[in-house]
Amino acid sequence: METVQSKSQRGRVADAPTGHWVYRMLPRGLWPYAQLARWDRPIGIWLLMWPCWWSAALAASAYAKSGEPLLSLLPSPWHLLLFLIGATAMRGAGCTYNDIVDVDIDEKVERTRSRPLPSGQVTRRQAWAFLVAQALAGLVVLLQFNSFAILLGIASLAIVAIYPFAKRVTNWPQFVLGLAFSWGALMGWAAEFGDVDAPAVALYFGSILWVIGYDTLYAHQDREDDAIVGVRSTARLFGDRTVYWLIGLYGAALVFFGWAFAMAQVPVPAFAGLIAAAAHMTRQIRTLDIDDPDQCLRLFKSNGTVGWLIFLGLVGGAVWPALRPYF
């Protein structure tokens, strides 16, 4: 017979936030699907979206000249909206797919065993149906772009498909995640120019390194459980040397970002965003305690601020050529 305690815990996920709008606005029957898509943890949406927005802003202000109309130097609001919706749909689909593949692992990890699939709140069939629905929503968004961007977006699915298996065969699953989560760095440029050029590629490489860094912080939450169940990660690989690795990863990411800006010939004020992002990354490294899971999670989430700083730097840089004649 089901206990009172088990009834009271139904619908709750150990690492899910309390008081989120998902639990206030959605019927209780939809909670497991919201948890599969991680709607109650939107940081993943932001982190998937930022390379898209950076790329769109980089493309819009690329090769900017004094006197050009301001609106022509700013990223398309329509493209930004599409990237936000697409990131929401595809991050949800990716998380759902990851949970389907990882259900046997999630059952053994304290933080994840209460998730909808291992706890039995949804069946595999229901999870697959939800995955397809989210993927179709993402496809509708993708079809709004030019043909080159559409093909480029479809190509990313191969990386998404193999990511959940990477942790079983390599100590660098964060690299595979970086390949997938950074794809937007190519998409924004492709949506603007119908091609992929060197600035977008440099932005992509920088984003991969950034993703490896911040997801290493996230992986430190599960380092001990991962060791028990045999899951590999850069957190386990780096161990006590994580700070030094972060210095290298974040530092190299900033170099690639700066190189992308330089090749695109964006206005110099755009680099202010990179300087601010560097200061924020430095703070992450200086304060990191890999044995404090709660702090690791906070530092991981703070990378949403890095996204804002770089994006606003690009937008500010785009505005500068239009205003310079007046100064």
- Quick one: pLDDT at residue 11? 54
Give the separation between CA 42 and CA 122, rounded to whole angstroms. 21
- Quick one: pLDDT at residue 9? 45
Q: Taking Cα atoms as reference points, which of 104, 77, 109, 99 lies closest to residue 222?
A: 109
DSSP H stretches of helix in 102-156: 103-106, 124-142, 147-155
- Quick one: pLDDT at residue 69? 67
pLDDT-based confidence at residue 18 (cuts at 50, 70, 90): low
- Quick one: pLDDT at residue 223? 87
| 170-225 pLDDT tens trace | 999 999 999 999 999 999 999 999 999 999 999 999 999 999 999 999 999 988 88
- Give the least confident one: 16-25, 107-116, 225-234: 16-25
Task: Please give the structure tokens belonging to residue 286.
Answer: 């200086």
Mean confidence (pLDDT) of the chain:
90
Task: Please give the structure tokens belonging to residue 166.
Answer: 């990477």
78 in Cβ contact with 61 (< 8 Å)? no
| 225-246 pLDDT tens trace | 888 888 899 999 999 999 999 9
242: exposed, middle or buried (C-beta count within 10 Å: 0-12, 13-18, 19+)? buried
| 132-171 pLDDT tens trace | 999 999 999 999 999 999 999 999 999 999 999 999 999 9
Confidence (pTM): 0.91
Give the separation between CA 242 and CA 235, rounded to whole angstroms. 7
Residue type, 15: D
| 307-326 pLDDT tens trace | 999 999 999 988 876 666 66
pLDDT-based confidence at residue 108 (cuts at 50, 70, 90): confident
Which residue has better confidence, 38 or 321? 38
| 58-80 pLDDT tens trace | 999 888 665 566 677 789 999 99
95 in Cβ contact with 38 (< 8 Å)? yes
- Quick one: pLDDT at residue 131? 97
40 in Cβ contact with 20 (< 8 Å)? yes
* Mean pLDDT value across residues 100-119: 85
* Mean pLDDT value across residues 237-263: 97
pLDDT at 56 over 90: yes
Distances (CA, A) of 83 to 215, 246, 281: 21, 28, 25
3-state SS, residue 45: helix
Domain 33-320 class, CATH top level: mainly alpha
Give the separation between CA 153 and CA 142, rounded to whole angstroms. 7
Give the separation between CA 46 and CA 301, rounded to whole angstroms. 10
Question: Where are the domains positioned within the chain?
Answer: 33-320
Give the separation between CA 45 and CA 327, rounded to whole angstroms. 39
Distance between start and end Cα atoms, the chain: 77
Question: Following DSSP, what letter does each residue of 57-99 receive, concatenated?
Answer: HHHHHTT--TT--GGGGSPPHHHHHHHHHHHHHHHHHHHHHHH
* Mean pLDDT value across residues 257-281: 96
DSSP H stretches of helix in the chain: 4-9, 21-25, 31-36, 43-61, 77-101, 103-106, 124-142, 147-155, 157-169, 173-181, 184-193, 198-219, 223-229, 234-238, 242-264, 271-287, 293-301, 303-323
